[in-house]
Amino acid sequence: MPSPAPDAARRRAAAECLLEGMVEAGLDLVPPSTLQAQETAPDTGKGPGATPEMADTDAALATIAASIASCQKCVLAHQRTQTVPGEGNPQARLMFVGEGPGAEEDRSGRPFVGASGQLLDKIIENGMGLSRQEVFIANLVKCRPPQNRTPQLDEVVACSTYLKEQIKAVQPELIIALGRPAAHFLLDTTEAVGSLRGKILKNPQGGPPILVTYHPAFLLYEPARKSDCWADIQVAMRFLGLAQ
């Protein structure tokens, strides 16, 4: 029997205790003024009981992953150990999109399993009160860039078909773009993350709206930004009706 969802007070207490400095003491749950009160996710009928399309979506995601596994469309194919297509709930209301796999991800074939992945887990589980299995996690590119360099535009463009197909299959209500490359590509902009973050932004491609926040890897180097990230996550929670 599933455990009841934590109420806001429990979730906030857990976040304050467990996010290792991400939550500033006394930070309230009021979103930034940029989030309009009526700016909430549409009712898409997704939820624990709404699973008739899950098999179809699962099959679509498996087909996409199979295409990725044999893909040679860009130079990143040459040095990969394995592809990292992404993973998560085919009915996810929330999709995280990062930049590309790192060393741990290249070894395991799973997204966000290294140090930055552990921080993302804390954001999802301790901060949002969700499980990793409830969201979908993907990257712009599905093969590890050498030395963890930023993926180049031609690589991102070559790989973008897969991400677009994943978004179309899952149909999340919100995408959280983690860091500059994901934000710039998804929003077709060159604006700084600092000015994009914390707002529910219209998707220029007509898909789910997008919220930008810092990449967990950046937060590991700049822990002072964790409170900004937590504020962004609260905007997402309000949008999804997770914050009370």
Helix (H, G, I), strand (E, B) or coil at 59: helix
Considering beta carbons, is residue 63 or 72 the nearer one to ligand SF4? 72
| Smallest distance from ligand SF4 to CB 64, Å | 10
| Smallest distance from ligand SF4 to CB 200, Å | 28
Tokens found for residue 149: 């360099």
| Smallest distance from ligand SF4 to CB 146, Å | 12
Inter-residue contact 19 to 127 (CB < 8 Å): yes
Inter-residue contact 83 to 124 (CB < 8 Å): no
| Smallest distance from ligand SF4 to CB 68, Å | 5
Considering beta carbons, is residue 162 or 230 the nearer one to ligand SF4? 162
Considering beta carbons, is residue 27 or 77 the nearer one to ligand SF4? 77
H-type alpha helices, 96-152: 103-108, 115-122
Considering beta carbons, is residue 155 or 228 the nearer one to ligand SF4? 155
| Smallest distance from ligand SF4 to CB 11, Å | 36
Residues engaged in binding ligand SF4 (CB under 6 A): 68, 71-74, 76-77, 83, 141-143, 155, 158-159
Instruction: Count Cβ neighbours within 10 Å for each residue of 27-43 and write b for 16 or more, e otherwise.
Output: eeeebeeebeeeeebee
Q: Please report, as a single letter, which amino acid is at residue 69.
A: A
CA distance 200 to 202: 7
Q: Which of 152, 149, 170, 135 is nearest to 64 (CA)?
A: 170
Considering beta carbons, is residue 87 or 173 the nearer one to ligand SF4? 87
